[in-house]
A and B are shown apart, each in its own frame.
Chain A
Amino acid sequence: MSVIGAYARALAVRTGFAQPVASVRHIHLAEAPLVLVPLRMAGEANAPLAAMAGTDELSGTLLVVPQPRDRDLRFAFAGLLGDLLLGYVERCAAAGSEPVKPPRTPRQPAGRPLPDSLLSGSPSSSPGGAGGAAVAAGPEGTAGAADGDLRADEDALAAAEATGPERFLDAPQVLVPNRAGVEFARLFGRSTRFRSTLGEYAVPAGVPLLGRWLTFLAQRAEHPGSSALVAMTEALTLHWATGQSALEDANLAALMAWIDPPDGLSGPEAARLAEDPRTWPPAGPTTDPQFDNRVLAPAIAAYDEAIALLREQAGLAGAPDPLLADPDVIDSRFRAADLGAARVWPGAPDAPVQSWLRARDEVERAVRGQIEPTWRLMWRAVRRLRELPDAASVPRRWEQDRTRFTSYYAYLRDEDGGLPQARRDGAVAAARRLAVLERELAAYEADQAFDDPLVLANQRVTGDAFVGTVVAAERDRRIANERGTLVTRPLVEVVTVDPVRLPIGTKVCSPARVGQTGVIMSLEPAADGLLVSLELSGGMGRAKVPPPGSVPDMDEVISYTSVLPDGAFSAALPAPEDTPWTHGGPPTPYEPTDGDAEETWA
């Protein structure tokens, strides 16, 4: 909990409404994201009960497994959900692509012409603009380029290599209600990605692909700053602070009650109502135990009975069981009445089809009542988030998501590719991943503060950043560098009342002038605060006297932070094939086995 967050919570308690802790939206929000609300059966590791999914509030598809313990129904459900997700993935891929700038090759032989595809990505076309320094080869030379190389982590390089010269313009963005929804995606991905569409245990074609894509999304979700798979509660708490605890914020309905209460109610009043499972069913994936016991269990039992009766009577008539060939997963895109007409038991016209359809309707109605409130809530939250403007670095981070999507899409299509993700990382891969995640987190946090004065406010309170007024500026100051060459190093003096806690010599940067760094030369008490003098370099062109505006001017209010996106790097790790024996030696690459596809589903 940040100090600003804590203070905003206190304010929320007093006002009765959530308070902003961000002024811009730090996550990407697709024009038509895929909202997914999954439900599963309590007590089971892998028994989906239902899912509502779609990219439009008015046309969500509801899938319900009328008997979640039935293995065949689970596979059929996975197949249908797979088709939905794959359709969405394909639409993203079909939205077109753009040329990718190659990672900078440090020693390109001079004079040799670059191939067209490499040239096409000039720095100015980078969607991240000035902030998107990841692979920009600036004319300014070594300093900027070195930063760029460091920031373009090997993940991105590897991805760029795998991707080739193109990157999709769009990528899937899946929104689930909460952290447990992300976990559901991970586990359901894990349980389906190894299945095979051939052989004795063949499953519908969509199943293993669903598994691969859910796993891809769940893995992306671990990367700070990725918007590929987002838990709505987390997206909201990134931008608003409520007057309740973080634990209570995990309840989507209660959280939205503080952010966007119904007319005439205060946040806490609405939140109390939202906590009552009878008013607001839980956002899943686990359902309300009382609902399970009082409504769902009897409905499922009645369904089982109706099916048994149907099979019995149809069996007597010697008819084949159409539900064996076409497992009975409820799909809201087909009306039950049509289904009844289409599925008259051949050869057994007297079979009690109606009671089966009624039991089926009953399960659907019960589940719909639990899932729809959350579905609507998700879209309300989407609209609320959309009111915030994109943060400046959102396009750059989303570009990373698009890059990963492009390369994974290509991998699945590749002749030698398409293997499911391994069960577990090897030692080096795991450590490497942790290092990457750590670095991404630091970069993401620095980005947020850079993009958003409300986030920067945290650093101001802790003394890592400050905002002040320029009281002196020596724009044309020139000094000799270590080689004796005269270089332009303007000096500015800033008066601040913030409690600066930075030692002399600290490197700082201002969100107002990305690319320009300052070094703190002195800190002195001033009449009303602290006088900080800074020596500036970079970001002012090559003229002896920097053009006006390129350097802070008198009376300008400016912020400086010591938390820079490039601040955190960890020690290099060996390549996977050089894993020391102390860590298990080089991992054997993942080889799928027949056993994978046959893994038992209880």
Chain B
Amino acid sequence: MRHEGKTEARLSRIRGSEPPRRHNARTIAALTSNPGCARRAVLDAAGVDKERLAERVGFPAAFGQSRFAIVRGNAFERQVKADGCAELLRLLRDLLALDLRDAAYTDLGADGSGEGLDARHVAARERLTRAPGGEDGEGNPGGEGNPDGALFDHPLLRLEVAGQAVYLEPDLVAFQHGGAFHVVEIKSFPVIDGQADAEKVAAAAVQSAVYVLALRRLLGRDDAVSHEVVLVCPKDFSNVPVAVRLDVRRQLIVLEHQLARLTRIDTLLDALPDDLALDLGQDGAGTPVMAVDALTAALGRVTARYAPGCLSTCELAFFCRREASGRTAALGIGVREELGGVETVAEALGLAHGTATPDDDQAESAAMLRTTARVYAEALGAMPETPAGGAAG
């Protein structure tokens, strides 16, 4: 416990005068995309606002959401949830074999306007555990007069992320009689002839996995929540919703692994200089606590592990990309492997052109690289004309 307190203090020192940035399902999901990166692990654990940090050091992220997409997303969700989720209940009846003739629809968020997050979470916990099959409700199906199935809107869940409580709000949670809870996610990308954009489905799967995990922790039992989530999307080109099951077992494994790793953040912290700080705050006079140079230098002290995938998942990507220029990994993991796994482009070309001496364990890749360079130059020599740039070097 004392140990944890020490870690907390350390993380808050790194963050400095700013309040910690709250995680949400999307940022937690992003943790799984480059688990090997210490820089992001530390920044996330400390709750540093990466978007603002990137902006301060001169590499603003290019993320943004179109107003059109937001409007569309909200409209679809509103439609699906209209009339106490009437349309959704019909879909779930088919998909989960819910007997929902008089299904209970409970909105756990609507009346709680004045309540704090904590109170709302407690209320949600109360209500969900009372559902038959919840830890207290076992064998007491008549308890709250719950019918065979139930649908809970706006349940506020909680998940510990690096010692920090994060509140999460899945779109819906459905309960199946004699079975388990299902997380329901409403997304506005279409399912056309039974197929949807793979990237979007993958993102929805990780995000839903975060909710499954949070719900499992709340109910205290893994088998109380199905690893199959329900994805509700517009069908074809219409506004008519369609529900499909999505298996998130794989995502759950990665997520749990990554969360466990975050709680062992002190190992990462031990390797960092004691005075490390990335304070984005301002002093009383409105002057930034840390100058750009100082921030940049501090960032450089935490090891990153840039890969092209960062460009679509992490706010610091442009900064890290610049830092990683000249590294083989910046060209993609496949390229790096083809280049014999060596760290830098200079090193790879050195081996290829015989200007660097390979280590013992590089002998094989060096031979391959030399062949590649020779064969490439030979083949290029056979070309009709050498285009701009040529194969210099």
Residues of A within 8 A of B (CB): 1-20, 23, 41-46, 187, 190-191, 243-248, 268, 275, 277, 286-290, 292-293, 297, 389, 423-424, 453-454, 456-457, 460-461, 467, 497-499, 599-602
Q: Is B302 an interface residue (CB 8 A)?
A: no
Contact call B238/A461, Cβ cutoff below 8 A: no
| B351 vs chain A, min Cβ distance (A) | 10
| A423 vs chain B, min Cβ distance (A) | 5
Contact call B193/A190, Cβ cutoff below 8 A: yes
Contact call A43/B192, Cβ cutoff below 8 A: no
Q: Which residues of A contact B237 (CB under 8 A)?
A: 45-46, 191, 599-602
Q: Which residues of A contact B368 (CB under 8 A)?
A: 3, 461
| B179 vs chain A, min Cβ distance (A) | 29
Q: In the complex the two chains form, what is the Cα distance from A179 to B389 in whole Å?
A: 28
Q: Which residues of A contact B71 (CB under 8 A)?
A: 43
**Could you list 27 A-B pairs, sorted by A, with CB under 8 Å?**
A2-B338, A3-B368, A5-B335, A6-B339, A7-B352, A9-B331, A10-B352, A12-B389, A14-B345, A15-B389, A15-B390, A18-B389, A19-B391, A23-B380, A42-B66, A43-B68, A45-B192, A45-B236, A191-B237, A244-B331, A247-B332, A248-B308, A275-B62, A289-B67, A290-B64, A293-B64, A457-B379
Q: Is B375 an interface residue (CB 8 A)?
A: yes
Q: In the complex the two chains form, what is the Cα distance from A288 to B67 in whole Å?
A: 11
B125-164 vs A, Cβ < 8 Å mask (1 yes, 0 no): 0000000000000000000000000000000000000000
- Counting contact residues on chain B (CB < 8 A from A), the size range is 35 or more
Cross-interface CB contact of A292 among B68, B309, B325, B367, cutoff 8 Å: B68
| A584 vs chain B, min Cβ distance (A) | 14
Contact call A424/B193, Cβ cutoff below 8 A: yes
B322: nearest residue on chain A (CB-CB)? A272
A245 and B308 in contact, given A43-B70, A297-B67 (Cβ under 8 angstroms): yes
Q: In the complex the two chains form, what is the Cα distance from A46 to B236 in whole Å?
A: 9
A246 and B62 in contact, given A17-B388, A457-B379, A600-B237 (Cβ under 8 angstroms): no
Contact call A13/B331, Cβ cutoff below 8 A: yes
Cross-interface CB contact of B335 among A6, A43, A45, A453, cutoff 8 Å: A6
Q: In the complex the two chains form, what is the Cα distance from A599 to B237 in whole Å?
A: 8
A13 and B345 in contact, given A23-B383, A43-B71, A600-B239 (Cβ under 8 angstroms): yes
Q: Which residues of B contact A286 (CB under 8 A)?
A: 66
A291: nearest residue on chain B (CB-CB)? B66
Contact call B338/A247, Cβ cutoff below 8 A: no
How many inter-chain contacts with C-beta < 8 Å in the A-B complex? 181
| A494 vs chain B, min Cβ distance (A) | 15
Cross-interface CB contact of A7 among B68, B72, B238, B373, cutoff 8 Å: B373
Q: Is B116 an interface residue (CB 8 A)?
A: no
Q: Which residues of A contact B338 (CB under 8 A)?
A: 1-3, 5-7
| A575 vs chain B, min Cβ distance (A) | 24
Interface set, chain B 332-361, CB cutoff 8 A to A? 332, 334-335, 338-339, 345-346, 348-349, 352
Q: In the complex the two chains form, what is the Cα distance from A191 to B325 in whole Å?
A: 43
Q: In the complex the two chains form, what is the Cα distance from A313 to B174 in whole Å?
A: 51
B193: nearest residue on chain A (CB-CB)? A423
| B33 vs chain A, min Cβ distance (A) | 13
Cross-interface CB contact of B332 among A245, A275, A453, A457, cutoff 8 Å: A245
Q: Among the interface residues B236, B334, B367, which one has the most CB atoms of the partner chain A within 10 A?
A: B236
Q: Is B285 an interface residue (CB 8 A)?
A: no
Q: In the complex the two chains form, what is the Cα distance from A346 to B209 in whole Å?
A: 60
Q: In the complex the two chains form, what is the Cα distance from A11 to B352 in whole Å?
A: 11
Cross-interface CB contact of A245 among B238, B330, B345, cutoff 8 Å: B330
Q: A5-B338, A6-B331, A19-B389 are in contact. List 6 more A-B contacts (CB 8 A).
A: A10-B348, A45-B236, A244-B330, A287-B66, A600-B236, A602-B238
Contact call B309/A3, Cβ cutoff below 8 A: no
| A171 vs chain B, min Cβ distance (A) | 27
Interface set, chain B 47-85, CB cutoff 8 A to A? 62, 64-73
| A587 vs chain B, min Cβ distance (A) | 15
Contact call A11/B308, Cβ cutoff below 8 A: no
A-B pairs, 5 with minimum CB distance = A43-B69, A17-B389, A6-B338, A42-B66, A245-B308
Q: In the complex the two chains form, what is the Cα distance from A542 to B91 in whole Å?
A: 73
Cross-interface CB contact of A20 among B66, B189, B387, cutoff 8 Å: B387
A2: nearest residue on chain B (CB-CB)? B338
Q: In the complex the two chains form, what is the Cα distance from A467 to B375 in whole Å?
A: 9
Contact call A7/B331, Cβ cutoff below 8 A: no
Q: Which residues of B contact A20 (CB under 8 A)?
A: 380, 383, 387
A10 and B349 in contact, given A3-B368, A19-B391, A460-B375 (Cβ under 8 angstroms): yes
B348: nearest residue on chain A (CB-CB)? A10
A389 and B69 in contact, given A7-B372, A23-B379, A454-B379 (Cβ under 8 angstroms): no
Q: Is B254 an interface residue (CB 8 A)?
A: no
A289 and B332 in contact, given A454-B379, A599-B237 (Cβ under 8 angstroms): no
Contact call A3/B372, Cβ cutoff below 8 A: yes
Contact call A1/B334, Cβ cutoff below 8 A: yes
Q: Is B294 an interface residue (CB 8 A)?
A: no
Contact call A11/B349, Cβ cutoff below 8 A: yes
Contact call A461/B371, Cβ cutoff below 8 A: yes
Q: Is B392 an interface residue (CB 8 A)?
A: yes
| A266 vs chain B, min Cβ distance (A) | 10
Q: In the complex the two chains form, what is the Cα distance from A261 to B26 in whole Å?
A: 37
Q: Among the interface residues A190, A389, A454, A456, which one has the most CB atoms of the partner chain B within 10 A?
A: A454
| B76 vs chain A, min Cβ distance (A) | 9
Contact call A42/B68, Cβ cutoff below 8 A: yes
Q: Is B284 an interface residue (CB 8 A)?
A: no
Q: Is B234 an interface residue (CB 8 A)?
A: yes
B369: nearest residue on chain A (CB-CB)? A7
| B119 vs chain A, min Cβ distance (A) | 34
Contact call A14/B349, Cβ cutoff below 8 A: yes
A602: nearest residue on chain B (CB-CB)? B239
B201-245 vs A, Cβ < 8 Å mask (1 yes, 0 no): 000000000000000000000000000000000101111100000
Q: In the complex the two chains form, what is the Cα distance from A601 to B238 in whole Å?
A: 5
| A555 vs chain B, min Cβ distance (A) | 17
| A469 vs chain B, min Cβ distance (A) | 12
Contact call A45/B193, Cβ cutoff below 8 A: no
Q: In the complex the two chains form, what is the Cα distance from A199 to B178 in whole Å?
A: 49
Cross-interface CB contact of B393 among A4, A6, A15, A41, cutoff 8 Å: A15
| B203 vs chain A, min Cβ distance (A) | 14
B329: nearest residue on chain A (CB-CB)? A245
Q: In the complex the two chains form, what is the Cα distance from A186 to B190 in whole Å?
A: 14
Q: Is B188 an interface residue (CB 8 A)?
A: yes
